[in-house]
Amino acid sequence: MKHACPRCQELTISGLAKRWSDRACPAKCANCGCLSHVLASTSGGIGAGTFLALVASMVAAAGLMSYLVAVSGACLAFAFNMWAWKRAMLVPIPKENMDAARTVGWFLAGVYALLALFGN
């Protein structure tokens, strides 16, 4: 499934590129070259909603001792995930902001590595 570029409105961005896009690694339109990403709050909310639906269905399945509830809850969580990603909007991002996000990401990775090596 292809998604519309926020600039040229052509269906050129793949679903996988949309799901994996963020500020540091945005999806690129094949038609106009526009860089775009899904906001972190949106992608995080989709993941949290999917997780909560799965946990709620497993708790209900354990309480009712029913595999049918577990399977239907997993199907419901999967359907929610697909629906939410289809509705998620792509937001354009300038190349300078992408470069800055990558720099910050690498800096934080270095800080985390130092903390892992020397922190207690």
Q: Token pair 């793949």 is at which residue?
A: 14
pLDDT computed for residue 1 by the predictor? 85
For residue 30, give the nearest of 45, 16, 10, 49 by alpha carbon. Answer: 10
Instruction: Quote the pLDDT of residue 94.
Output: 95
pLDDT at 120: 67
0.95 exceeded by pTM: no
Contacts of 70 (CB under 8 A, 6+ apart): 57, 58, 61
Q: Chunk the chain into consecutive blocks of 10 residues (it has 120) and report each block's average pLDDT, rounded to whole numbers.
A: 92 94 94 94 96 96 93 96 95 95 96 90
